[in-house]
Every structure is written in C-alpha cells, then in structure tokens.
Amino acid sequence: MQPYFFPYLGYFQLIHAVDEFVIFDQAQYIRRGWINRNRILNAQKESIYIHIPVEKAPRETKIKHILINDSSNWKENIFHQLNYYHKAPNYAFVMDFLDECFNSHMTSISETNTILLKRVCELLAIDTKITVLSKEFPMITQANEADEWGIQVAKALNATTYINAIGGIDFYNEQKYGASNLEIQFIQPNLKSYKQYNHIFIPGLSIIDVLMFNDFSEIKMMLDSYELIGKSGVSVK
C-alpha cells in the first residue's frame, strides 16, 4: 500500500490482518490523493481536509522523492483545524499524541507517513512488521503491469498469500498470481458507525477522528471487524 497520511480505519485493518505490511513508496505521486492529506470533521458538521504541503515536482516523481514544503506553519494549521474536537472525550490525549508525532524534523512525505503509521500502530497495539519497499527491496523498481508489483514483493518475502485493499479487486489478475503460486485475497472492512458528537455520522474519516471518539477497547473491536474474500467475492476467512 502507498503511505497515506493518517488514513482511515480500514487501512489499519489491512495492516492488522497481514504478517508483513509493505509500504509502496515506488509508486508515482498523485496530487489530491491521500499521500499528504486526509479528512476530519469541522464545525459545519462536514468533512474538511488537513494536509501537509509538499514541494512541486515533475508528474512522474515517485512518492519516495516527494519533499515537504515547510514555508507555511502546517503543523499549527492542522492543530487549529482539530480544535473542533475540543469537546471530544479523547481530545487532550490525541492532541498530545499528535504533538509527539510531529515533534521530529520531517523532510520526506513518505518517511513522515511511515513514522506516523508506525506510531499509530504502536498506540493501537498492532505488532505487524512494516517494511518500506525502496529500502528493503531496492532491486524492485518497476513492473511490466501495475498488478505485478505485488507478485514481485510477495516472492521477495517468500510469501504464499497477497492481501490487498478491496478497492483493487477488479484490478488484479487472479490467474497471474496463481501462476506464481500465490493466493490473492482482499480485505472487506465492516465499518460500523460511532458517535461523532450528536450529528449524522460521516464514515471514512482519518484515524484521528476514530481516536478522538472511541476508547482502545472499542477500536480493537473495529480493527477485527473485517472479512477476507477471494476474487470471486467469497469469504476465505
């Protein structure tokens, strides 16, 4: 998976479900994606983006080469946007946690997100090994077809099963993986609603929103609420 910025709960379900999670930093950076932004609540009971500004780069630039633009005080901007949560039950704890996360000097968006993902996993007691593709497997730099990255990584890890987010179910060629002695599975999150103050629930927000409103026992149950399915959509769990 690409290194997203404080992604939604389903991303952490995927990390939780696998033995080793590989951060795909060799992919091309896509503007207005999830690499340097995500959604939280605002006072109008809508979702808004928090983001880390990045330097301009050529269109073909890989995620691992995207640098953070520190010309604006983006950390203060994010904390200001998070003020809407000041009455949330875990506000003080989460803000202290975020302050610690942002405490180190950050230059690369990929390395920054890797640190943030690991910190959230530590907080949620997710002990899955997290590997960065370009560092652990520098020899894997390209693929003939986009769905072949997973095959190369799985082979390098001597894995027998490759698990991907449900959004890619139509993208992957099951026969191609089978020819490489790999089973391919997809994680289907079962994301239940939770109380976001007293307004209509907005799903799919950043993990920050989940942390603000839920205790660890509740989040643990959320992390376990998923199903692994095959290409046909049939459960394999």
3 state SS for 69-132: CCCCCHHHHHHHHHHHHCCCCCHHHHHHHHHHHCCCCCCEHHHHHHHHHHHHHHHCCCCCEEEE
Nearest Cα to 4, choosing from 27, 38, 55?
A: 38
Strand-strand pairing, 183-189 and 47-51: unpaired
Asked whether 62 and 26 are in contact (CB, 8 A), the reply is yes
Q: Is residue 2 domain-resident?
A: no
Q: Is residue 235 domain-resident?
A: no
Q: Is residue 55 domain-resident?
A: yes
Amino acid making up residue 88: A
Which structural domain, as residue segments, surrounds residue 20? 9-229
Q: Is 157 helix (H, G, I), strand (E, B) or coil?
A: coil
Nearest Cα to 16, choosing from 127, 117, 120?
A: 127
Q: What does pTM read for this prediction?
A: 0.95
Strand-strand pairing, 37-41 and 47-51: antiparallel
Q: Is residue 234 domain-resident?
A: no
How many residues are listed for the chain in this entry? 237
Task: Classify burial at 58, counting beta carbons within 10 Å of its beta carbon; exposed 0-12, middle 13-18, buried 19 or more.
Answer: exposed
Q: Is residue 175 domain-resident?
A: yes
Count how many domains the chain has.
1
Q: Is residue 115 domain-resident?
A: yes
Helix (H) or strand (E) holding 184: strand 183-189
* The residue to which tokens 């605002």 are assigned: 42
Alpha-carbon span 202 to 91, nearest angstrom: 18
Q: Is residue 237 domain-resident?
A: no
Q: Is residue 1 domain-resident?
A: no
Per-residue confidence in pLDDT tens, the chain, 237 aa: 999 999 999 999 999 999 999 999 999 999 989 999 999 999 888 999 999 999 999 999 999 999 999 888 999 999 999 999 999 999 999 999 999 999 877 899 999 999 999 999 999 999 999 999 999 998 887 777 878 889 999 999 999 999 999 988 888 889 999 999 999 999 999 999 999 999 899 999 999 999 999 999 999 999 999 999 998 888 886
pLDDT of residue 237: 61
